[in-house]
Amino acid sequence: MESVKSIVGRHRKDPTELLAMIRDVQASRGHVPREAVAELAGVLGLSEADVEGVITFYHFFSLTPAGTYAVYLNDSITARMNGRTAVARAFAEAAGCRFGETTADGLIGLHDTSCIGMNDQEPAAVINGVVFTRLTGAATRDLVAAMKAGTPVTEMVKSYGDGANQSELVRAMVVNNVAKRGPVLFHPFTSGSAVQTASVLKPEGVIARIKDANLLGRGGAGFPTGLKWDFCRRQKGPKHYVVCNADEGEPGTFKDRVILTEIPRLVFEGMAVAGYAVGAEEGILYLRAEYAYLKAHLESVLGELRREKVLGKSIAGVKGFDFDIKIKLGAGAYVCGEESALLESAEGRRGSPRNRPPFPVQTGYLDKPTTVNNVETLATAAQIVAHDATWFRSMGIPASAGTKLLSVSGDCARPGVYEVEFGLSVRELLDMAGAHDAQAVQVGGPSGNCLSPKEFERKISFTDLPTGGSVIVFGPGRDLFEVVRNFMEFFIEESCGWCTPCRAGNAILLRKFAKIIGGKASRRDLEEIESWGKMIKASSRCGLGQTSPNPILTTLKNFPELYEARVRNDTDFVPEFDLAASMAAGCEAAGRNPSFKETHHE
Ligand code: SF4
């Protein structure tokens, strides 16, 4: 077993590599023992509390044995819709322990986890970093038998997905499910053409072209990319950085997974072009831990690009056009999709969002001006620079130029990724995906909007229906309250806990929601839950808290009849605590009348 000292040395004692060090310790020991925490802290000059704080922040790190085989089974709503409960039961029965526990011999640990980016092929799990998709009870029992026989986890993968997922370096069960190849991302691209054109345009020209194309950030916020690069470029300082946000954690989104698998060159060349524009020589691809299986493949593409001189020194023969990229892995935390939290994590700390301002373009990675862009944004930028702004603007609609890659899952015949031009209606998308009887569509994931059929004519665009790319379809038989509950539990689990409205408010909101769907609410409770939701949105510090009440607020707005049906109109106040019901078991044991009132008067 490699010593902690050796692991730290391999990472050049660099505190920004703390997550990588912890990952290595955990991989060799099955968890991070106390002695290792102390050693890491001692060698890096940190406190033990600092190191422990990082370990406890991320889903995939553990201070206690997580299992020689650590099974992280996705608990997203789509996984549940596809039989996750039966798979979880099969795991627990075959392994002999419950979720949240490790078997007595330490061999198997069962853990729930949030969306792992496989919504199109659920139920899915990550076992020791390897992704297993389309699980069934029988497949689960085979997996556990293989674990008991000591089989390496990579040998348990019996079938491989399509496209690059079959290549030696990926070798994953994951299917790409590219249902529609659109005219931007999947437009033919000659490797090196974007950096070549950039070298002719010069940095200011690159920024002007991106501005002219009206490229807006594809992660969901829609900030103008050219403006962000311009702000970053104008910041004085010896060093600037480009960070690619490959931490798509919004439940239901998996389109960056497909881009990184099939067209990573576009992303890396987009980063090089961004680097040239803002004056950065270093780029970081922050890859979510759930996609760790792609790392070897991505490293290999980086190697090819270096050999082709698309990365490295004097790119395109231009002296001073130097740029290279390294990959940093996350460790499982939805909030790290928020750019300032991502930067904290990339620097080796807990992924707590920073106060803004200052913005990352002013004070970003290692306090240097940094542009943080989404995977899809950078891939699109490479195509824009290689072609031109007019070509790009000829697609989509005026305020939303170009295309959007959507991840469609749930109750539809053809789940997968669709590259569509902005301006497409939800109904047109549903037709493409073979979803003809949807009762609701969640656009933009839990933080987005739950639409009723009355709104299916709305258009995917920055002005009408903005989305990072997640589209989940719910058919007529689905219980939307179960959906809302799953989403709210997700936000509660993923809150970093820094601010009270998000940390405590969402738990209170869920309790109020439970009261309503339990049929114990009056009209006043409906008004109250709405005002609590608005208060949490208004007073939370980052995007997570600011959008977390959306599952309740958007269903309340778009499906009022569901809530109305649960509300009592005969009273203005229904107590949350039912005294008679809570005493029933005790009264029965004592042989007394379970009605508190009658008992009291006896
Ligand atoms: Fe953390 Fe939530 Fe506050 Fe964001 S809103 S800083 S996730 S507690």
Residue 577 domain-assigned? no
Number of domains in the chain: 5
Closest approach atom of ligand 1 to CA 335: 7
Same domain, 90 and 24: no
User: Which residues does a 6 A CB cutoff place in the pocket of ligand 1?
Assistant: 335, 353, 495-499, 502-503, 540-542, 544-545
Q: What are phi and psi of 443, to 5 degrees?
A: -105, 125
Residue 377 domain-assigned? yes
Domain with 232 in it: what CATH number? 3.40.50.11540
Q: In what helix (H) or strand (E) does residue 397 lie, and over which residues does it extend?
A: strand 396-397
| pLDDT tens track for 94-150 | 999 999 999 999 999 999 999 999 999 999 999 999 999 999 999 999 999 999 999
Strand locations in 223-366 (E)? 241-246, 282-287, 324-329
Q: What are phi and psi of 181, to 5 degrees?
A: -90, 115
Q: What is the SS3 assignment for 126? A: strand
**How distant, in Å, are the alpha carbons of 131, 141, 147, 309 from that of 90?**
18, 7, 14, 51
C-alpha 289 to ligand 1 mean position (Å): 21
Q: Which of 496, 509, 537, 548 to mutate to test the pocket of ligand 1 (most atoms within 8 A of CB)?
A: 496
Domain with 146 in it: what CATH number? 3.40.30.10
C-alpha 498 to ligand 1 mean position (Å): 5
- Find where tokens 């808290």 sit: 545
Residue 227 domain-assigned? yes
Q: Residue 183's CB: how many other CB atoms inside 10 A?
A: 17
C-alpha 445 to ligand 1 mean position (Å): 18
List Cβ<8 Å contacts ≥24 apart for 153-158: 153/69, 153/127, 153/128, 153/129, 154/130, 156/127, 156/130, 156/132, 157/130, 157/132
Domain with 424 in it: what CATH number? 3.10.20.600
- Find where tokens 């892995």 sit: 329
Q: Determine the residue type at 180.
A: K
Give the residue from 338, 364, 394 where a domain finishes. 394
Closest approach atom of ligand 1 to CA 540: 5
Domain with 523 in it: what CATH number? 1.20.1440.230
Contact assessment for residue 55 and residue 63, using Cβ atoms and an 8 Å cutoff? yes
Same domain, 339 and 268: yes
Query: ∠ CA(503), CA(509), CA(512), 5° rounding?
Result: 145
Strand locations in 164-228 (E)? 178-180
Q: Residue 591's CB: how many other CB atoms inside 10 A?
A: 6
Same domain, 327 and 249: yes
Rounded Cα distance between 400 and 407, Å, is 18
| pLDDT tens track for 384-431 | 999 999 999 999 999 999 999 999 999 999 999 999 999 999 999 999
pLDDT value of residue 573: 64
C-alpha 226 to ligand 1 mean position (Å): 28
Residue 597 domain-assigned? no
Please give the residue range of the domain that contains residue 334. 193-394
Give the residue from 474, 503, 525 where a domain finishes. 474
Same domain, 238 and 357: yes
Cα dihedral value 131, 133, 136, 141, nearest 10: -20
**What global pTM score does this model have?**
0.93
pLDDT value of residue 449: 96
Parallel, antiparallel, or unpaired for β 567-568 and 370-374?
unpaired
Rounded Cα distance between 574 and 561, Å, is 20
Same domain, 151 and 236: no
C-alpha 113 to ligand 1 mean position (Å): 19
Alpha helices, DSSP H, located in 401-504: 426-433, 480-494, 500-503
Residue 585 domain-assigned? no
Give the residue from 338, 360, 394 where a domain finishes. 394
Task: For ligand 1, atom 1, name the residue with the nearest CA.
Answer: 496
Same domain, 371 and 411: no
Residue 579 domain-assigned? no
C-alpha 494 to ligand 1 mean position (Å): 9
Same domain, 94 and 199: no
Rounded Cα distance between 552 and 537, Å, is 12
The series of mean pLDDT values per 10 residues for the chain, 602 residues long, is: 94 97 95 97 96 97 96 97 97 97 97 95 96 97 98 94 93 96 97 98 98 95 96 96 96 97 98 98 98 97 97 96 98 96 98 95 98 98 97 96 98 98 98 97 97 98 95 97 97 95 96 93 91 96 96 97 88 65 71 53 38
C-alpha 284 to ligand 1 mean position (Å): 24
Same domain, 338 and 379: yes
pLDDT value of residue 569: 75
Eight-state DSSP code of residue 386 = H
Task: For ligand 1, atom 4, name the residue with the nearest CA.
Answer: 542
Same domain, 390 and 408: no
Same domain, 550 and 460: no
C-alpha 496 to ligand 1 mean position (Å): 5
Closest approach atom of ligand 1 to CA 495: 7
Closest approach atom of ligand 1 to CA 497: 8
Same domain, 465 and 517: no
pLDDT value of residue 600: 42
Residue 94 domain-assigned? yes
Residue 331 domain-assigned? yes
Same domain, 280 and 350: yes
